[in-house]
């Protein structure tokens, strides 16, 4: 894996070069958080009712895919990007949920920089495309996506 030359708090667009390949995170999936998230945002019995979920298609309670995405976002925002450079995201491509995430799992994320190009219309920023693979503590991929982020340039030229 190819790592960054600068710590997260000192990274700008120029630091995100294609070929960077890093892994971060140790986000535990807690049942109370899973239930709270699902009750509010994804109220399906496989996410909200441990007793009924046993007879469901996954044989037990699983996290909402959106909860998994939110945990990935915490890793992205705290370990891969920073407030000084991160401007916004125009979206994600190819979002896939590959395996159920269960209470007690611990998630991490691998970030592979695919493309980094400076904006022609706004040269103070660049667009970054990153493949993200979220894995559980058994190193099984549970979610993948390609994220796009707009980042401030260190060199405002």
| CATH code where residue 117 lies | 3.10.129.10
Does the residue 40 lie in any domain? no
Does the residue 24 lie in any domain? yes
Does the residue 1 lie in any domain? no
**Contacts for 38 with CB less than 8 Å, ≥ 6 apart:** 44, 47, 48, 63, 64, 67
Distances in whole angstroms, Cα of residue 120 to Cα of each of 113, 117, 125, 148, 150 = 20, 9, 9, 16, 13
Does the residue 14 lie in any domain? yes
Phi first, then psi: give them for residue 24, nearest 5 degrees.
-140, 165
**Looking at the predicted structure, is the pLDDT value of residue 68 above 70?**
yes
Q: Quote the CA–CA distance of 24 and 46 in Å, as a whole number.
A: 28
Does the residue 51 lie in any domain? no
Does the residue 120 lie in any domain? yes
Tally of structural domains, the chain: 1
Q: Quote the CA–CA distance of 17 and 108 in Å, as a whole number.
A: 21
Which token pair is 8?
A: 């997260």
For position 156, what pLDDT does the model report? 74
- Which domain, by its residues, includes 19? 8-29+62-152
Mean pLDDT of 55-68: 98
Does the residue 67 lie in any domain? yes
Does the residue 69 lie in any domain? yes
Residue-wise pLDDT tens digits, 116-155 = 999 999 999 999 999 999 999 999 999 999 999 999 999 8
Enter the pTM of the model: 0.95
Q: Are 107 and 71 in contact (CB under 8 A)?
A: yes
User: Which residues face 97 on adjacent strands?
Assistant: 143
Burial 98-123, CB ≥16 within 10 A → b, else e: ebbbbbebebbbbbbbeebeeeeeee
User: Which residues face 20 on adjacent strands?
Assistant: 2
**Looking at the predicted structure, is the pLDDT value of residue 114 above 90?**
yes
For position 157, what pLDDT does the model report? 58
């Amino acid at each position: 894996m190819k790592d960054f030359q600068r710590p997260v708090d000192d990274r700008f667009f120029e630091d995100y070069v294609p070929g960077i390949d890093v892994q971060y995170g140790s986000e535990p999936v807690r049942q109370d958080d899973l239930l709270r998230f699902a009750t509010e945002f994804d109220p399906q019995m496989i996410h909200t009712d441990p007793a009924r979920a046993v007879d469901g298609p996954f044989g037990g309670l699983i996290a909402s895919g959106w909860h998994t995405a939110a945990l990935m976002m915490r890793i992205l925002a705290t370990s891969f990007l920073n407030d000084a450079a991160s401007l916004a995201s125009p979206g994600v491509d190819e979002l896939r949920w590959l395996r159920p995430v269960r209470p007690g799992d611990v998630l991490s994320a691998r970030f592979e920089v695919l493309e980094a190009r400076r904006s022609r219309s706004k040269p103070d920023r660049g667009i970054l495309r990153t493949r993200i693979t979220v894995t559980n503590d058994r190193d099984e991929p549970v979610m993948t996506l390609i994220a796009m982020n707009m980042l401030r340039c260190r060199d405002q030229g």
